[in-house]
Amino acid sequence: MSAVEEITKKLAEIGFEDVKLKELSKNAKLLNILQPLLSLVDKEGELPKAVRNSIYNLAVLFNKDKEQTLPLELISNKKDLISYILNNYFVTENLNNNNAVTLEEIYLFITNNGNDNGTLKSDEFPKNLEKQAGINLSLSDSDINEKISKYLNETIKDELIEKRYTLAPKIYAEVRKLDDLKFCNFGDLKKIIDAKVAEILGPKDERDAPKPKVKAPKAKKSNNDNKKTNKKEEEENHRNMFTEGFLGDLHKVGENPQLYPETLKKHLDFTKGLVHTRFPPEPNGFLHIGHSKAIMVNFGFAAYNNGHCYLRYDDTNPEAEEQKYFDSILNMVHWLGYKPWKITYSSNYFDQLYQFAIKLIEFNKGYVCKCSGDEIKRNRGVDPVTGQPGGERRACEHRELPISWHLEEFKKMHDGVYQPGEAILRMKQDLQNPSPQMWDLIAYRVLNATHPRTGDKWKIYPTYDFTHCIVDSLENITHSLCTTEFYLSRESYEWLLDQLHLFRTAQREFGRLNITGTIMSKRRIAKLVNSGVVRDWNDPRLFTLESLKRRGFPPSAILSFINTLGVTTSSTNIQASRLETAVRRYLEDTVPRLMLVLDPIEVCIDNLDDDFELDCELPYKQGNDEFGKRTVKFTNKVYIDRTDFSEDADDKSFFRLTANQPVGLLKVPKVLIFKSVEKDADGKITRIHVNYDSESTVKKPKTYIQWVSNKSSIPVKEVRLYNQLFKSENPAALGSDEFLNDINPNSEVILKSALIEDNFKEVVAKSPIVTESLKKLDFYVSETTSASGNERIRFQAMRTGYFCVDYDSTDDEIVLNRIVELKN
C-alpha cells in the first residue's frame, strides 16, 4: 500500500467522505501534513464532522504558511504541545464553533512558543493558550450589543451620518478588532451591526446608490466613429431589464447541472427549450408594491424569451387562506398586463407530495418527530427564549428510529390520530451544516383546518420548504426566480430534489423592491384597517397593489419604473417620492387636461349680461393633437379657486387677482379687473365682483388661472388629497404599537365643494384614452380588461395635480382621488 493510499485509508476511517478523499488524493503535500497530525489524536474510529474539519483546517494553515518552510519538522518538534491541543480542545469540540480566528490563533501559539516541556510545564499554560485563542470565552448578547453600540455612537457616529452605508466595510473591519469580538461569528456580528446602523440611518435609499463614474473626455471621433456611437446609444436606449444585469446573466434552458442527468432529457422534452417560470404567491393577503417586481421578473422574463409563466397559488396553509385573496392576486396580475399560461395550485399536487414524503422516509431521509417546539429549537442550538443561535446542535430522540416506525407514525398523522403540534415529519438533513436551512426542516405538520379547495380531505399539510421545490420540478420550471431572503433555501431546495431523484430546477435570487416611508407588513396593515386609520386594504395611502390601483397609478408607469431600476441581487430601497415622480412623468404625456376648482369662490362679471355666452376652445393637451379639443362656455358668472385671490394688494410675489392686479382666465380673450368683494358675518369672502376688460386696457396679465362657468360645471362630492401616511421616513422600525402614533394627520384631506368643467363627462366616456403614442411605449398595458375600473379615468387638473375617479363614485356623485401633485 502506497503512502497516499495509507493516509487516505486513515482519513476514510475517521469519516472523510469520498468527494473529499478524491480531492485530497491530488494534494500530496497536504496529505503529508495531515498524516502526522492525525497520528497525535488518541481517539480511535470515526470523528465528528466538526473535529475532522478543525484538524483539516489546521493542516491547511501549516501548508499555507510561507514562513514555515518545513511544516513537518515543526510538527515533529512540537508534537507534545500539538497532541495536547488536539486531544484537549479539538476532540472535545471545545473550539467556539470551529471559529477560523481561533484556529489561526492556535496555529500562531504553536509556532511562537518554545520547546514543548517549557510550554507545557508553565504555570500559565493552558491559560495563555485559551486567552490567545478565545477558547472558553463567554460573551453575552448584552456584552456584544454594548460594545458595538459604544463604538458606533462614541467613535464613528458623525462619520457614519455623513458617509452613510458606504462606511459599512470599515465598520465591519474595526468592530472585529474590538476586544474579544474577533472570536464571534462574523455573520452574527454583521446582523447586529446592520440593525444598529439602520436604527441610526434608516433603510437604504437612492442616497446610497453607487455614484456613476465620470468618464474622461474622449478624443474627437471621425464620422464613421460617430455613426457607430449613435447606433450604440440607440441600442442602449432600447435596453431593458431582461437583457442586462441579473436577468441578462441567467443560464439558458437546460444548462443548470443535474445530479441525475436522465431527468434533464424529460425536462427538455416537455419545455422544448422554452423558458418556464412561475409566480407563486401565498393566498393569505393582498399583494404590495414589492410583488409588482416579482410579477414583472417572472412573467416578463418568460414573455421576453417567448416562454411561459404559471400563476401558482402556494395554498399550503388553509388557516390563513381566503377566496378574496385568490381573486385579488389574479386581478392584480391581469391589471399589470400579464396573462398566466396556466393557473395552478400547490394543492393540485397534494396526493403526489404525500407519496414523495413516504418515499423520503423509505430513503431514510425523512422522519417523524414528536418534540415540542422548544425542544426543536434547543436541538438546533437556538435558545427558545431569546431566539439566539450558536448552541450545540444535536439530533432528536426520534431521528434514528427504524424506518418502519416512521412510516407507521406518518400514516397516523395522515389518518388524523394526532393533534396539531403532537407530531411532524422532518427531513433528515445535516445538523452540523452552518446553514439553518439544513437543520432538519419540517416537511409536514398536522392542521385541523378546512382547505378552500380540498375541503376536509387532508389532516396534514406540506410546508413551503417541502412543497415549493417539488412542484417547481413537477411543473418543469426552468428558472425559479425569487428574492434574496430565500438565498439560504437554495441548498435545501436542491438537497430535497436530489434525494427524491427529481429534476433539479434552478433557483436564482434577485433583490426585492422596498419603498421607504411606508409599511408592507400584513399584520401592521391589518392594525391600520381594524383601528380605522385607513379605509381598507385598498386605501390609497397604502402601498398594496389594490391601493395603488385605486389611487390611480397606471400599471404601465409601475412597470416602466421597475424597468428603470433594473434587477440585481441587491435589495432596492426607494423613497416613495421617487415612485411618485415616475408616475407624474408618465401621466404628463398620457392624460388629458381639465379645469378643476378645489375651493371655489363665485366671481360675478358685472359688465356682462346674464345671457352672455362665449365658447372658448381648449386643447385636452397643449401641443398634442391626439387628445383632441373641447369647448368651455364663458358666462357672466364663473368660479375660481379661493387661493387665486388675495386681499393683500401690495404683495409683489402674488401674481393672481388682487384689488390692484387683473388676472387672465385660461383661453378667455380678455382679462378680469377687480371691483369689490362680498363677505359673510365671519368676514369670509363669499363673492368677488369684477369687470371684463372688453376694451383691452390691460395688455397682458401676469398669469392665467383655471376657472369653471356656472352654466358648464359639475359639482364634485369629494376630492381626496393624499399625502404620506406616516410622519417618519422609517415607520417599519417603530414598535408594533408605536407606529400607530406616527400617523400623519393630514395624510388624507377631503374637500367637499369642488367644481369641475362639464367636459369631464366626455373624458369619462372615452376612458381609458389610448393614443397611438401611448401604444408605442415599451411597457404599455391595456386597461380595457375587467381588472380595470374607475381608476382608469385619469386627467390632469390644470395647475392642481393629477386625479382619477374613485370606486366610491356613482353616476350622480363624483369622488376624485389625487394621484400625485404636479410637482414634488
Q: What are the sequence ranges of the domains in the chain?
A: 3-133, 141-201, 347-467, 601-711
pLDDT digits (tens, 9 = 90+) for 234-281: 444 455 899 988 999 999 999 999 999 999 999 999 999 999 999 999
* Fold of the domain built from segment(s) 601-711: Ribosomal Protein L25; Chain P (2.40.240)
| Bridge pairing between strands 685-692 and 600-605 | parallel
Q: Which of 93, 282, 375, 821 is catalytic?
A: 282
Written as one string, the DSSP assignment of 601-641 is EEEEETTS-TT--EEEEEESSTT-GGG-EEEEEE-SEEEEE
Kindly report, residue by residue over 222-232, the tens digit of the pLDDT. 555 554 445 44
Query: Stretch 573-585: mean pLDDT, rounded?
Result: 92
* pLDDT bucket at 175, cuts 50 / 70 / 90: confident
Fold of the domain built from segment(s) 141-201: Arc Repressor Mutant, subunit A (1.10.10)
Per-residue pLDDT at 137 exceeds 60 = yes
Q: Does the structural domain 3-133 have CATH classification 1.10.8.1290?
A: yes
Residue 120 pLDDT level (bands cut at 50, 70, 90): low
Place of cell 391595456: 782
Looking at residue 98, what is its pLDDT?
Answer: 45
Using the structure block, give the residue that is written with the C-alpha cell 379645469. Answer: 595
Q: What is the average per-residue pLDDT within 362-379?
A: 95
pLDDT of residue 254: 93
Q: Report how far apart the first and last C-alpha atoms of the chain are (Å, whole number).
A: 80
What's the rounded Cα separation, in Å, for the pair 459 and 449?
Answer: 8
Mean pLDDT of 794-808: 97
CA-nearest of 97, 92, 83 to 38 is 83
C-beta neighbour count of 319 within 10 angstroms = 12
Alpha helices in 261-420 (DSSP H): 262-271, 289-295, 301-304, 323-335, 350-362, 373-379, 403-415
Q: Where are the alpha helices (DSSP H) in 421-575?
A: 464-474, 489-499, 522-530, 545-551, 555-565
Q: Which DSSP symbol is given to 40?
A: T
pTM, entire model:
0.72
DSSP 80-106: HHHHHHIIIIITTT-STTT-HHHHHHH
Q: Which residue has the cell 422532518?
A: 426
Of 129-133, 508-512, 749-753, which range is least confident?
A: 129-133
Q: Is 282 a catalytic residue?
A: yes
400 has pLDDT over 60 = yes
- The residue annotated as part of the active site, out of 512, 630, 670, 794, is 512
pLDDT for 67 beyond 60: no
pLDDT average, residue stretch 393-405? 95
Say if residues 425 and 413 touch (Cβ distance below 8 Å): yes
Name the active-site residue from 10, 522, 527, 799. Answer: 522
Q: Please state the rounded mean pLDDT for residues 75-100.
A: 72
- Which range among 37-41, 315-319, 354-358 shows the weakest confidence by mean pLDDT? 37-41
Who's near 491: CB < 8 A, 6+ residues apart? Answer: 433, 435, 437, 438
**pLDDT category of residue 115 using cuts at 50, 70 and 90:** low
Cα torsion 209, 210, 216, 220 to 10°: value is: -60
Grid coordinates of 272 = 422544448
Q: Which CATH class is domain 347-467?
A: alpha beta
Q: Would you call 512 a catalytic residue per the annotation? A: yes
> What mean pLDDT, rounded, does the chain reach?
88
Worst-scoring range by mean pLDDT, 75-79, 293-297, 492-496, 567-571?
Answer: 75-79
Residue 118: band (very low, low, confident or very high) from pLDDT cuts 50, 70, 90? low
Output the pLDDT for position 233: 40
Q: What is the pLDDT of residue 236?
A: 40
Q: Say what the pLDDT of residue 763 is.
A: 96
pLDDT at res. 237 = 43
* Helix axis angle, 141-154 to 186-201, nearest 10°: 50
Q: Which helix (H) or strand (E) holds 664?
A: strand 664-665
- More confident call, 386 vs 711: 711
Q: What pLDDT is attached to residue 239?
A: 56
Q: Are 409 and 361 in contact (CB under 8 A)?
A: no
Strand partners, 597: 755
User: In the prediction, which pLDDT does 235 show?
Assistant: 43
Say yes or no to pLDDT of 559 above 90: yes
- The grid cell for 15 is 469519516
